[in-house]
Structure 1
Amino acid sequence: MATGMQLISGTGLASRIGGLNRFAPVRSSVPLFKRDLKFRVRSTADQDGGDVVDEKVKAAIPVPPRLFSTPAPPPQPEESTKISTIMAFDGPGPERINGRLAMLGFVAAIAVELTRGQNIFSQIQNGGIMWFIGTTALFSIASLVPLFKGVSADSRSGGVMTSDAELWNGRLAMVGLIALAYTEYIKGGTLV
């Protein structure tokens, strides 16, 4: 870098320091530059008299924003909003709804066992069927509304709360709820 600067400036460090720098170029090897160079700017015109501008130059010119521009089109739904597609066997609805209901049911069953000492079968017999129907309807509708609007669960997930984590938690809750009912049936009483 220093040698390049010495070449451009025309004087080396050797002339200033007195021979301390052995790698500095000799002054006579530096070409002399003219300072009075004149530049001419030319433009080309097409046959109609208009200016011809290179495409790269056009791309580099910023386009000023419009004051009255048309609004952006509304975003298109990411997923199909047909009931047959949403509630299909491999659709986004059934496993998510069943998983959410299983998570809610597993936590509620364990909580009632701890507070009242009732197993899952006595919970259903003592008025639990109405709670089951009410929460099933509420959570099913709440889970279907975003799907009918075209919002996918994958687009709303981020960080730790991903859509895959929700699916796996729902699957584990389904297995846990069945295991809880089976264990209480075999044992003949509460698990806890």
Structure 2
Amino acid sequence: MAASSCCGVLPVGSVVSRRGRVNSSFGTSNYVSPLKRDLIKFRVRSVAEDDEVKEPAAAAPKPTPPPPKPKVSTSFFDVLAFSGPAPERINGRLAMIGFVAAMGVEIANGQDIFSQVQNGGLPWFLGTSALLSLASLIPMFKGVTAESKSGDLMTSDAEIWNGRFAMLGLVALAFTEYVKGGALV
């Protein structure tokens, strides 16, 4: 759609008739004497706007290189910091193993969590905790992140959420067995 606009300028307070003359019927206070065309020249410009704006053809864009990977800190205090990658991931992994083991022994022997720990489960707990902690910390100290090893099915976010649910499940299982006074199953 091509449109053009033009603009006219009138003296302030005057009314123009259809013939282009100043109308003085509104009183003398609104009357402005007609201007001579030779004294003042006005320029009126008209601009047409097109729907399509043609841009000059640009050269083929160069592919952008991938952004550099952020360097992962391998400092002991950075890895084990409160907001670092290790604490929640290790606790989640331990909770997943602990919840499955506690439920498995409870179903097999009928023992609650507290009797499992009292009847020789403490060395197993400490050994499993040490082994899983070392297995989790060694790659972190080498700079390998869980996000870099994530796949389509098993993502690092899914591991974090499963660990959180396992922590809640383990605490809920212990609390329920304490209140009930015996095994859940």
TM-score (norm 1): 0.60
Matches within 5 A, 1:7-156: 78-156=71-149
**Greater share of residues in helix:** 1
Q: Partner of 1:157: helix, strand, or coil?
A: coil
Compute the displacement of 1:79 (Å).
Answer: 1.1
Residue 165 (structure 1) aligns with: 158
Shift of 1:81: 0.5
Partner of residue 42, structure 2 = none
| Percentage identity across paired residues of the two chains | 66
Distance in 1 separating the partners of 2:139 and 2:70: 11
Conserved? CA contact 1:78–1:151, under 8 Å? no
Cα offset for 1:148?
0.6
Distance 1:96 1:79 in 2: 16
SS in 1 for 2:128: helix
Aligned counterpart, 1:28: none
Report the counterpart of residue 184 of structure 2 in structure 1.
191
Q: Give aligned pairs, total.
A: 120
2-structure distance, mates of 1:135, 1:83? 22
Larger Rg over CA atoms: 2
In the TM superposition, residue 78 of structure 1 has moved relative to its aligned partner by 3.9
Give RMSD over aligned pairs: 1.9
Q: Does the CA contact (< 8 Å) of 1:105 and 1:177 recur in 2?
A: yes
Which amino acid is 2:103 matched to? I
Pair 1:77–1:140, CA change in 2 (3 A): farther
| Residue 173 (structure 2) aligned to one of 180, 183, 186 | 180
Amino acid at match of 1:103: M
Q: Distance in 2 between matches of 1:164 and 1:178?
A: 21
Counterpart CA distance in 2 for 1:139 and 1:150 is: 18
Amino acid across the alignment from 1:128: G
What's the CA shift for 1:158?
1.5
**1:8 aligned partner:** none
Q: Could you tell me how far apart the structure 2 residues matched to 1:77 and 1:86 are? A: 15
State the AA in 2 paired with 1:146: P
Amino acid at match of 2:110: G
1-structure distance, mates of 2:145, 2:81? 15
Whether the 8 Å contact between 1:77 and 1:149 is mirrored in structure 2 is no
Name structure 1 gaps, 5 residues minimum: 1-55, 57-75
Instruction: Supply the distance in 2 between the matched residues of 1:113 and 1:94 (Cα, whole angstroms).
Output: 28
Show structure 2 runs of 5+ residues with no match. 1-58, 60-68
CA distance in 1, matches of 2:90, 2:70: 20
